Structure 1
Amino acid sequence: MTIDRQEDLDGLKEIGRIVANTLRAMAQAMEPGMTTRELDAIGRAYLDRHGAVSAPEQVYDFPGATCISVNEDIAHGIPGDRVIAAGDLVNIDVSASKDGYFADTGATHRVPPVKPSLDRLCRDGRRAMQIGIAQVRAGRRLDGIGRAIGRFASDRGYTLVRNLASHGVGRSLHEYPGEIATWPNKDTRRIHNGLVLTVEPFLSTGALWATDGGDGWTLRADPRAPVVQYEHTVVATGGKAIFVTLPG
């Protein structure tokens, strides 16, 4: 989607706020002993109260309102009977639509107590996302996002999962310019003013790929290693990107 009217930006910010607040509500409610299905129900209730529709359900008939991925499951985890335990890494990904606008956000959360190395991985995962977003500016090449994130990851001894990418969003969940690599690559396409996209690197202590978890949806780390993901939907401008998925 390309934003060229204030009406469109307002609509995008509205659904962006809703998914961000849904993510925050779920993170605040999460505790050991809760199942991922119970956590998903909190997200569904928030979306329903604010007139939003789960994008994974709407677009892909996904069996849950949100994607909840624990430990070795790194993306597209189906909410179910899995019990969240102390020490877990829990990724929550929330995407939804309202009035024809879509927004997408996500974050990995630690269930205390966790190892200091996982605390560091989470901090650096969020930083990797921020570094990528700093490259989102009209006129710049799309591959600047992956190059900047790649330098950061390499300097700190991390790997990046290379088959889970950022993407265009706005009028649908996945749209132009399609997949946007968050690892070093060659993509000479230029970012244009008003382009709406996500930035969502998957930072790891060793994983390189996301592989089929066996249920048709869930993706797992390969090689097996901790993975974190942080995601915002942003709009490109001639200066700093506009954050769409901010709580408030």
Structure 2
Amino acid sequence: MTIETEEQLEMLRRVGGVVAAVCRLMGSRLEPGMTTRELDEIGRAALEQEGCRSAPVLMYNFPGATCISVNHAVAHGIPDDTRIRPGDMVNIDVSAERDGIFADTGASFIVPPARPEQERLCQTTRKALNRAVQVVQPGRRLNTIGRAIERTARAHGYTVIRNLGSHGVGNSLHEAPGFIPSYYEPGDRRMLTEGMVITIEPFLSTGADFAEEMDDGWTLATDEGVLTAQYEHTLVITKRGPIVVTV
């Protein structure tokens, strides 16, 4: 999507604010003993209350209103009877549509007690997201995003999940400019343009380079024992700097 009017920007801000609030709400309600399905129901109810439709359900008939991935599950986890335990890392990804406009956000949460290696990974992944947001501007190549993420990851001894990355969003959940790698791809000559709407979502790992699809046909996971964190914003590229709509 390319933002061309103030009305479009305001519509994007509205749905972006909703998905951000729902993600925070779900994170605040995490507690040992609850199932990921129960957590998803919290998200579903909150989206419906705001007049939003779950984007994964709308676009892909996903079996849950949100994606909830626990521990070595990295992304697209199906809400089910899995029970949250103390010390789990839980990734919550919330995307929704309102008035024909889509926004997407996500975050990793640690269920206390947190281990130092979990906290370091989450802190560095947030840093990678922030640095990538800071470098985007019209006229730069898309690969500046992956370069910023990969440099941050490597500086702290982490890898990036190479088959998961950022993407265009707005008129649909996934759209042009398509897949945006979280690593530096020197041959990628695509450009960032004024008004372009994209996500930035680094997946940093303690050793994995790829996530494999599990038997359920949705969940992407690494080997057990490998930690991965993800944080995601939807933003608009402008000459005055990016407008992050999922804060």
**TM-score, shorter chain, exceeding 0.5:** yes
Question: What is the CA distance between 1:132 and its match in structure 2?
Answer: 1.1
CA distance 1:224–1:188, shift in 2 (3 Å) = farther
Contact 1:207 1:224 in 2 (8 A): no
Aligned residue in 1 for 2:141: 141
Q: Check conservation: 1:233, 1:245, Cα contact below 8 A.
A: yes
User: TM-score with structure 2 length normalisation?
Assistant: 0.98
> What TM-score results when the alignment is normalised by the length of structure 1?
0.97
Residue 2 of structure 2: aligned partner: 2
Counterpart CA distance in 1 for 2:44 and 2:148 is: 35
- How far did 1:224 drift? 5.3
Aligned-pair identity in percent equals: 54
Distance of 2:190 and 2:211 partners within structure 1: 25
- Contact kept in structure 1, 2:139 and 2:191, CA below 8 Å: yes
State how far apart, in whole Å, the 2-side matches of 1:35 and 1:117 are: 25
Identify the range of structure 1 (234-243 vs 87-96) with the bigger mean alpha-carbon deviation: 234-243
* Partner in structure 2 of residue 226 of structure 1: 227
C-alpha distance in 2 between matches for 1:23 and 1:101: 18
Q: Does the 8 Å CA contact 2:125/2:153 hold for their aligned counterparts?
A: no
Q: After TM superposition, which residue ranges in structure 1, 4 or more long, deviate above 2 angstroms?
A: none
- Given the alignment of the two structures, is residue 175 of structure 1 paired with residue 175 of structure 2, yes or no? yes
- DSSP-derived class of the 1:47 partner: helix
* Cross-structure match for 1:204: 205
List runs of 5+ in structure 2 lacking aligned partners: none
Structural mapping, 1:1-248, within 5 Å: 1-186=1-186, 187-222=188-223, 225-246=226-247
Report Cα offsets for 1:187-219 as digits up to 9, x if no partner.
111100000000001001101101011100000
What do you get for the CA RMSD once the two structures are aligned? Answer: 0.9
Give, as a single letter, the amino acid of the residue that structure 2 aligns with 1:236: I
Secondary structure at the aligned position of 1:245 is classed as coil
Task: Judge conservation of contact 2:72–2:224 (CA < 8 Å) in 1.
Answer: no
- Relative to structure 1, the CA distance from residue 183 to residue 43 in structure 2 (aligned partners, 3 Å threshold; closer, same or farther) is same
**Where does the alignment leave 5 or more consecutive residues of structure 1 unmatched?**
none
